[in-house]
Structure 1
Amino acid sequence: MAEAMSRVGEDLSPVEEMKASVAGFARDFKGFQGDLKVKLAKQEERMMTLERKMTAAARPLLSAAAEESAPHQKAMAAYLRTGDDDGLRGLEPEEKALSTVVNSDGGYLVDPVTSEAISSVLSSTASIRAISNVVQVEATSYDVLIDRSEAGAGWATEVADTTETTTPAIERIAIPLNELSALPKASQRLLDDSAFDVEGWLAGRIADKFARSEAAAFVNGDGVDKPTGFLNHTVVAESAWTWGNLGYVATGADGAFNGPDELIDLVYALGAEYRANGTFVMNSRTAGAVRKLKDADGRFLWSDGLAAGEPARLLGYPVLVAEDMPDIASGADAIAFGDFSAGYTIAERPDLRVLRDPFSAKPHVLFYATKRVGGDVSDFAAIKLLRFAVS
């Protein structure tokens, strides 16, 4: 029995040695762990100190970067929340392409501090569209039917035979629709990165250019791929007026007014059936000269509108200031007077179309805008001109 117990003790001695070894390792590990914690704490303290120094040095740059990215973050957050990509697109005619490479061609627009709108320095102009007959058509031309001849008539007696009288004839004036177009382009990067709505700005600029182009054509257009302006027709002295021409009244002075009487002559050169709807048309410089005219009693012929939005009046008739009318000069027909709702017809298709084409000129996006419009004199008796000439 004693011998057996001796053998068991011998078998347990390695276990005891292992326990002692494990206990020693545990003590050594705890010591190492304590040293490691101290070293990590010191390292963390050094890192925190370095981070504070770096943050203090970089704070201005970080602040600017945060401010710069804020609009983009807001737009992305809105898109992720609601699916509304208007903000993303917002952070998105002239022959030159728009790009971010050249500042004047769009580089200025990339800065997110840029104003959300561009103040246009372009001047707008009134158009005789405001006083003309405007019709919308879905065809390539518009025909105006004119009845300008008289029906024959005569007195009859009770017993005499009735004689045949003349029958009025109808004439037709065809007004073709011509196409205004614009094809500006902008780089996709500019559309992506600009600080405001470039597409909306381009659409506004195109519409403004179209309006000014057609306004000029309605006055001076030669009829070649554009409307025929009323001043493009043959102008003859009122005493020799015939259909197909416009009649004029002379001021009696070369390139100047001879007095207020010629304006009165101009008004009464127009037939009574048109005079009730008569309107004067002139540009700003001519209007400035007319405002100085007085009658024999010293009263100005010109009077401003009585209410906001009402046009000024000359001899009691409204005045449209259209900058496309010629200046006062020798032989110039600088003032028109007439019933333009009868005398000039504008035919147009009812829509302005814009095609966005991102494929044909990559990496640019093309914006192809078109509008179809035509115009011409529809009644040559309804418009008269004042010519600044002796006769």
Structure 2
Amino acid sequence: MTSSNPRPAEQPALTRHAPETKAVTGRGATPAAGAGLERELDEMRAAFTAFREVNDERLSEIEQRGSTDVLTGDKLARIEAEIDRQQQRLDALALKAARPPREGEATGTRTRESAAAGEHRAGFLAYMRKGQEEGLRSLEQKALSTGSDPDGGYLVPEETEAGILRRMTSVSPIRAIAGSRQVSSSVFKKPFSISGPQSGWVAETAARPETGSPTLAELAFPTMELYAMPAATASLLDDAAVDIDAWIAEEVEQAFAEQEGAAFVAGNGVNRPRGFLDYPQVAESAWSWGNVGTLSTGVDAAFPATEPGDVLIDLVYALKAGYRQNARFVMNRRTQGVLRKMKDGDGNYLWQPPASLGAPATLMSFPVTEAEDMPDIAAGAPAIAFGDFRRGYLVVDRAGVRILRDPYSAKPYVLFYTTKRVGGGMQDFDAIKLLVFAA
């Protein structure tokens, strides 16, 4: 039964847990490296310490009265929101650190470019700012790989393409943890040994029987076209201080990353990559190649009421030892909020905050990747994935990011139709396991 007592004596606890009420958005500019980053991490740790204290209080109230006090629940919700905000700030700082330097920030970078790369960059900038195609057309005659494709548009310089992919790796959660290949064709085909070669023991002088051949499967990863269309004003393009390379990377990174994130998780393979949740799912006891193994919580839309952490242990050890070394959990923030309250048999919290800038939170000492496209906890939903994603899922990028300048469709704005080709799919079906919230 919920208490109606306002409990004035408890009010100082809100002041004691300062991180839960501090407004993140009011702190101004991003703090400098060094002390500023340490402050962010310290505040994250302080917020989690406050969370543990209030959650322990909530559990004690449930044991004593069978329900949680309203004030305790409200404090816990505010602290959880603060932890989420702190995590977002840490992610933003890590992303900023991954961004390529702007013009003038890296001494000597431009002077180290090859003559061909410098010529390509100069032609690209002239095309972006003024629509002058002569420089890129002359390059097209010298090297067919540097011109326009049948649909029109020109390849961005290699440095710009590398900057876009590097930034997308920081923004797109699955791309950051999956395996990756860059190809020049539209389809990447990869043979994979399902059974492995046959072998055996024999005596020194005994006959060697012929061994069986390995069973191979051919995996095909077609690349699909992904596009974004940022717009610019004439004044932006005329401003010589604006780094066009950095501007185009910033404009397309979020659009590309959002589309990729959804496709790598649940894409159906039609005009987009195939996500790891789209493959057939079978109980781990009946697992076979071509399916993703699953374990069930035993309860629809929930963890078991007693020893809920045991199903996570079962999930971890459903994975073979060779995969566990580099394994991680993947879930959305709402599922992570549920797991944040769980303890082991000794009363220690299973979830722990990041230990350093750029490091992930951990669950049972395994890293946690937050992917918003993962399903929420619901009846029959595979809300938690665990595995070695670098071995289990492959992202295939076709070399080249193309841009087509369009000054006519949205005058007075100039549109930049930016395309890249990317594919994805499972490459090792034994490397990823799913936890399904079902009886």
TM range (shorter): 0.5 to 0.7
1:137, CA displacement in angstroms? Answer: 1.3
Measured against aligned partners, the alpha-carbon deviations of 1:71-92 in whole angstroms (never above 9, x if no partner) come to xxxxxxxxxxxxxxx9xx99xx
CA shift, 1:325, in A, is 0.5
User: Do residues 373 (structure 1) and 422 (structure 2) align?
Assistant: yes
Q: Report the counterpart of residue 348 of structure 1 in structure 2.
A: 397
Q: Which amino acid aligns with 1:219?
A: V
Q: 1:240 to 1:312 in 2, by over 3 A?
A: same
Q: Does 1:267 align with 2:316?
A: yes
Q: Give the match's secondary structure for 1:328.
A: coil
Residue equivalent to 1:28: none
- For residues 69-148 of structure 1, what are the structure 2 equivalents within 5 Å? 126-148=172-194
Letter in 1 for 2:379: S
Provide the C-alpha distance between the structure 1 equivalents of 2:341 and 2:411, rounded to a whole number of angstroms: 58
Partner residue of 1:244 out of 283, 290, 296: 290
Alignment gaps of 5+ in structure 2: 1-124, 130-169
The alpha carbon displacement at 1:201 in A equals 6.3
User: How far did 1:134 drift?
Assistant: 1.2
In the alignment, structure 1 residue 384 sits paired with structure 2 residue 433: yes
Pair 1:204 & 2:253 matched: no
Q: Does 292-301 or 146-155 show the bigger shift?
A: 146-155
Is 1:303 aligned to residue 352 of structure 2?
yes
- Measured against aligned partners, the alpha-carbon deviations of 1:92-129 in whole angstroms (never above 9, x if no partner) come to xxxxxxxxxxxxxxxxxxxxxxxxxxxxxxxx964211
Contact 2:228 2:255 survives alignment (8 Å): no
CA–CA separation in structure 1 for the residues paired with 2:287 and 2:279: 12
The residue aligned with 1:80 is: none
Match runs of 1:196-235 below 5 Å: 204-235=250-281
The answer to whether the Cα contact below 8 Å between 1:249 and 1:385 also exists between their aligned partners in 2 is: yes
Q: Comparing 259-268 with 352-361, which one deviates more in the overlay?
A: 352-361
Question: TM-score, normalised to structure 2's length?
Answer: 0.56
The Cα of 1:308 is off from its aligned counterpart by 2.1
Which among 403, 406, 410 is matched to residue 357 of structure 1?
406
Matched, 1:317 2:366: yes
Q: 1:153 to 1:260 in 2, by over 3 A?
A: same
Contact 1:125–1:322 (Cα < 8 Å) also in 2: no
The share of aligned pairs that are identical, in percent, is 52
Equivalent position amino acid for 1:346 in 2? V
CA distance in 2, matches of 1:229, 1:291: 26
The answer to whether the aligner puts 1:327 opposite 2:373 as a matched pair is no
Q: Distance in 2 between matches of 1:131 and 1:216?
A: 15
CA 1:184–1:319: 2 relative to 1, 3 Å: closer
What is the CA-CA distance between 1:162 and the residue it aligns to? 2.6
Q: Deviations over 1:245-301 (max 9, x none)?
A: 000111111101111000000000011111101010000000000111111111111
Deviation at 1:371, TM superposition (A): 1.1
Q: Are the counterparts in 2 of residues 188 and 364 from structure 1 also a CA contact under 8 Å?
A: yes
Q: 1:207 deviation in Å?
A: 2.6
User: Secondary structure of 1:179's partner?
Assistant: strand
In the other structure, the counterpart of 1:21 is: none
1:372 aligned partner, one-letter code? R
Tell me what 1:281 maps to. Answer: 330
Q: Which sits farther off after the overlay, 184-193 or 217-226?
A: 184-193
Shift of 1:357: 2.3
Q: Is the 8 A contact 1:178 1:374 kept in 2?
A: yes
User: Distance in 2 between the 1:127 and 1:316 partners?
Assistant: 19
Q: Deviations over 1:18-52 (max 9, x none)?
A: xxxxxxxxxxxxxxxxxxxxxxxxxxxxxxxxxxx
Aligned partners of 1:346 and 1:373 also within 8 Å: yes
TM-score w.r.t. the length of structure 1 is 0.63
| Mapped contact 2:172–2:260 kept (Cα < 8 A) | no
Contact residue 230 and residue 251 of structure 2 kept, 8 A = no
TM alignment of 1:186-201, pairs within 5 A: none
Q: CA deviation at 1:164?
A: 2.0
1:360–1:285 CA distance, 2 compared to 1 (3 A): closer
**Would the aligned equivalents of 1:279 and 1:337 in 2 still touch at CA under 8 Å?**
yes
Q: Does 1:153 align with 2:202?
A: no
User: Offset at 1:350?
Assistant: 3.9
**Residue pair 1:346, 1:374 contacting (<8 A) in 2 also:** yes
Contact 2:172 2:257 survives alignment (8 Å): no
Secondary structure at 2:315 match in 1 = helix
In structure 2, what is the Cα distance between the partners aligned to 1:165 and 1:257?
47
Aligned partner of 1:332: which letter? A
> Following the alignment from structure 2 to structure 1, what is the Cα–Cα distance between the partners of residues 172 and 303?
24
Number of residue pairs matched by the alignment: 268
Structure with greater Cα Rg = 1
Cα distance in 2 for partners of 1:202, 1:274 equals: 38
Match status 1:166 vs 2:215: no
Closer, same or farther in 2 for the Cα pair 1:135/1:199, shift >3 Å?
closer
Q: How far did 1:171 drift? A: 1.8
Tell me, yes or no, if the aligned pair for 1:279 and 1:319 is still in contact at 8 Å.
yes
Distance change in 2, residues 1:312/1:133 (3 Å): same
Pairing 1:175–2:221 present = yes
Distance (Å, rounded) in 2 between the aligned partners of 1:316 and 1:339: 14
The answer as to 2:391 corresponding to 1:337 is: no
**Could you tell me whether the CA contact under 8 Å between 1:135 and 1:347 is conserved in 2?**
yes
Contact 1:327 1:334 in 2 (8 A): yes
User: Measured at CA, do residues 304 and 200 of structure 1 come closer, stay the same or move farther in structure 2, by a change above 3 Å?
Assistant: closer
